[in-house]
């Protein structure tokens, strides 16, 4: 009988496993893939996550950069270097996710990869988790099985508030001399294109976050964008995947179980940042289950409240900004991105030094006055 079974070995599952095992709890991680496994993802990670752990992440970071470059339809560039804040980490998810799990294993967590969960049953006071390799039992359960995982449904969270967004991603080998994080607006409706440098190449992707905006040929848009970097994507494999954007606070706990990571729908609706909020929920889920095991009957309910207060309250503002910005991206680019202080502000938000609520009121005012003829300054 484990104290906690964690389904999913992504950033949320790995973080939860580490913190629970470090507190002396018996933990089993179940992962359907074989680790390390490829995961399509831009792989930009906020350095803020280092504050939540007591080990060095260096072995899991491909490179660090504080150089940003924004374009509008490949033109009108804005370049910025983020001064005075820690550089953004660029990671490959196979390496990063596995590294987190390995840190948990060093603390005593057990991993069973290549083990798909086929169903769950609550038995009196604990969970039985059925897998292809037989059942396992745990007093508590963390569902960290991602945007497409079945755990939330099995746990009875049928009506989750989530906005499913789409992403398409490709990897391209390249020699990178000056690593910059690239954001392109204008080529795709209701979203943006990114090009994130890694030590040995680029992760290039498209995300759409607000409505669908009608049919768009993502593959050819992505190929045209990649061509501007001298990259031919015809030979690269492209991966599509859903994103579970935050779309309102919701209950994340049930009988002896919580949702964490994308299963909890915490992806930032403005930037599609998912790794930092996933890790945050993993850390907080571990704290809650540790307290529940220690006899705090309200610990799981408090987990829902903490995620809502510390993350959801700011995502309200991220969503408001996204709704206006992506509706009129041309004005958004002019007023939001081209302002001298804008890239630095965005960097500070990504690094956890600023919250959307600190900047959203003024930004929304600027964007809405920009929509009224003669009002834009």
pLDDT tens for 257-313 read 999 999 999 999 999 999 999 999 999 999 999 999 999 999 999 999 999 999 999
DSSP β-bridge partners for residue 193 = 184, 206
How much is the pTM? Answer: 0.94
Does residue 311 contact residue 12 with C-beta atoms inside 8 Å? Answer: no
Q: Residue 213's pLDDT is what?
A: 58
Residues 195 and 105 in one domain: no
Instruction: Report the candidate in 189, 154, 145, 168 with the shortest Cα–Cα distance to residue 240.
Output: 168
The domain in which residue 186 lies consists of: 163-244
Residues 123 and 15 in one domain: yes
How confident is the model over 179-187, as a mean pLDDT? Answer: 93
Q: Is the pLDDT of residue 364 over 90?
A: no
Q: Residue 350's pLDDT is what?
A: 85
Q: Is residue 376 part of a domain?
A: no
Instruction: Report the candidate in 57, 44, 43 with the shortest Cα–Cα distance to residue 15.
Output: 57
Residues 180 and 118 in one domain: no
- Scanning 190-274, the segments in alpha helix (DSSP H) are 218-227
Residues 176 and 313 in one domain: no
Residues 184 and 273 in one domain: no
Q: Is residue 57 part of a domain?
A: yes
Q: Out of 280, 295, 318, pick the residue that ends a domain.
A: 318
Residues 334 and 231 in one domain: no
Burial 101-135 (b: 16+ CB within 10 A, else e): bbbbbebebbbebebebeebeeeeebbebebeeee
Q: Residue 374's pLDDT is what?
A: 41
Residues 251 and 149 in one domain: yes
Instruction: Give the three-class secondary structure for 289.
Output: helix
Q: Out of 276, 300, 318, pick the residue that ends a domain.
A: 318
For the domain that residue 287 is a member of, what is the CATH number?
Answer: 3.50.50.60
Q: What is the residue-averaged pLDDT of the chain? A: 90
pLDDT digits (tens, 9 = 90+) for 99-145: 999 999 999 999 999 999 999 999 999 999 999 999 999 999 999 99
Q: Is residue 206 part of a domain?
A: yes
Q: Out of 189, 210, 244, pick the residue that ends a domain.
A: 244
Q: Is the pLDDT of residue 184 over 70?
A: yes
Q: Is residue 143 part of a domain?
A: yes
Query: E-strand spans in 199-329?
Result: 201-208, 238-246, 253-254, 257-259
Residues 58 and 155 in one domain: yes
Strands 27-30 and 110-112: parallel
Residues 28 and 59 in one domain: yes
Q: Is the pLDDT of residue 249 over 50?
A: yes
Number of domains observed in the structure of the chain? 3
Q: How confident is the model at residue 216 (pLDDT cuts 50, 70, 90)?
A: confident
Region of 261 (left: φ > 0; alpha: ψ -120 to 50; beta: rest) is left
């Amino acid at each position: 009988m484990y104290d906690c079974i964690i389904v999913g070995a992504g950033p949320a599952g790995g973080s939860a496993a580490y913190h629970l095992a470090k507190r002396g709890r018996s933990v089993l991680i179940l992962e359907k893939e074989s680790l390390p496994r490829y995961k399509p993802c831009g792989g930009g990670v906020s350095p803020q996550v280092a504050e939540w752990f007591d080990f060095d992440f260096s072995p899991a970071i491909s490179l660090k950069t504080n150089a940003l470059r924004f374009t509008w339809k490949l033109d009108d560039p804005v370049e910025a270097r983020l001064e005075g804040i820690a550089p953004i980490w660029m990671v490959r998810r196979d390496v990063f996710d596995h590294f987190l799990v390995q840190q948990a294993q060093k603390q005593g967590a057990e991993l069973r990869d290549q083990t798909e969960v086929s169903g769950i049953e609550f038995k009196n006071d604990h969970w039985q988790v059925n897998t292809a390799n037989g059942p396992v039992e745990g007093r508590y359960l963390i569902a960290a099985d991602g945007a497409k995982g079945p755990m939330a449904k099995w746990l009875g969270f049928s009506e989750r508030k989530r906005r499913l967004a789409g992403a398409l991603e490709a990897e391209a080998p390249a020699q990178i001399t000056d690593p910059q994080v690239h954001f392109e607006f204008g080529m795709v409706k209701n979203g943006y294109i990114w090009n994130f440098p890694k030590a040995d190449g680029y992760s290039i992707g498209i995300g759409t976050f607000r409505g669908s905006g009608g049919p768009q040929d993502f593959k050819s848009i992505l190929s045209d964008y990649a061509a501007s970097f001298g990259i031919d994507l015809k030979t690269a494999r492209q991966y599509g995947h859903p994103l579970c954007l935050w779309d309102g606070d919701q209950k994340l706990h049930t009988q002896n179980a919580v949702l964490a990571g994308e299963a909890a729908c915490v992806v930032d609706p403005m930037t599609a940042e998912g790794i930092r909020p996933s890790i945050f929920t993993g850390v907080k889920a571990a704290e809650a289950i540790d307290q529940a095991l220690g006899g705090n009957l309200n610990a799981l309910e408090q987990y829902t409240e903490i995620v809502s207060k510390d993350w959801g309250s700011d995502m309200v503002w991220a969503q408001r900004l996204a709704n206006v910005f992506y509706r009129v991206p041309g004005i958004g680019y002019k007023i939001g991105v081209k302002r001298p202080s804008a890239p630095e502000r965005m960097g500070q938000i990504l690094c956890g030094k600023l919250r959307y609520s600190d900047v959203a009121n003024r930004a929304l005012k600027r964007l809405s006055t920009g929509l009224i003829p003669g009002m834009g300054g």
